[in-house]
């Protein structure tokens, strides 16, 4: 996970330093295609699935992840990175688990434990400490 975070941060800094000269929609499509091909090959190579036994909800979840979680969210992320400084867009990514927990509560009826709420509170506190402006010294 730490290596993934390092590559994510490196990609963000690299993109801010040398922006790709193409529309965000095209950039997102190319990222999904280039990143999706090895995942699809690995999935079909390493897993065996009886596709006829897969029901409605697993397919719904799959296509939701393809079109909402990947396509729209990566487009929004790329647009945000293009519009604001890296420090601001990286702080926005910290809210993802917060949104995920509350979405799980609303959509899936999940009941988080006190540890989950404590973790969310700590994430929000960490974001707040960075966003609060220091008071000027007199």
For the stretch 50-70, pLDDT in tens is 888 889 999 999 888 888 888
In-domain check, residue 15: no
In-domain check, residue 6: no
User: Is pLDDT of 32 > 90?
Assistant: no
User: Is pLDDT of 46 > 90?
Assistant: yes
Instruction: Read off the pLDDT band of 11 (50, 70, 90).
Output: confident
pLDDT at 128: 86
Residue 56 sits in the same domain as residue 105? no
Residue 77 sits in the same domain as residue 89? no
Cα 34 from Cα 26, distance rounded (Å): 12
Domain that holds residue 31: 23-83
| Section 80-105 average pLDDT | 86
User: 78: closest CA among 10, 1, 19?
Assistant: 19
pLDDT at 60: 92
Cα 92 from Cα 109, distance rounded (Å): 25
- Domain termination residue (choose one: 43, 64, 83): 83
Residue 101 sits in the same domain as residue 60? no
Tell me phi and psi for residue 17, to 5 degrees.
Answer: -75, -45
Quote the DSSP letter at residue 132: S
């Amino acid at each position: 996970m730490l290596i993934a975070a390092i590559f994510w941060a490196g990609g963000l800094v690299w993109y801010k330093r040398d922006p790709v000269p193409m529309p965000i929609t095209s950039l997102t499509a190319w990222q999904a295609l280039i990143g999706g091909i090895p995942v699809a090959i690995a999935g079909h190579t390493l897993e065996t699935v009886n596709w006829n036994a897969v029901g409605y909800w697993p397919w719904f979840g799959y296509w939701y992840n393809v079109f909402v979680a990947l396509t729209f969210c990566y487009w929004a992320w790329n647009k945000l990175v293009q519009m604001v400084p890296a420090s601001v867009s990286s702080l926005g990514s910290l809210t993802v688990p917060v949104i995920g927990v509350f979405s799980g509560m609303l959509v899936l009826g999940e009941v988080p434990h006190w540890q989950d709420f404590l973790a969310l509170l700590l994430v929000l506190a960490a974001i707040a400490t960075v966003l609060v402006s220091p008071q000027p010294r007199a």
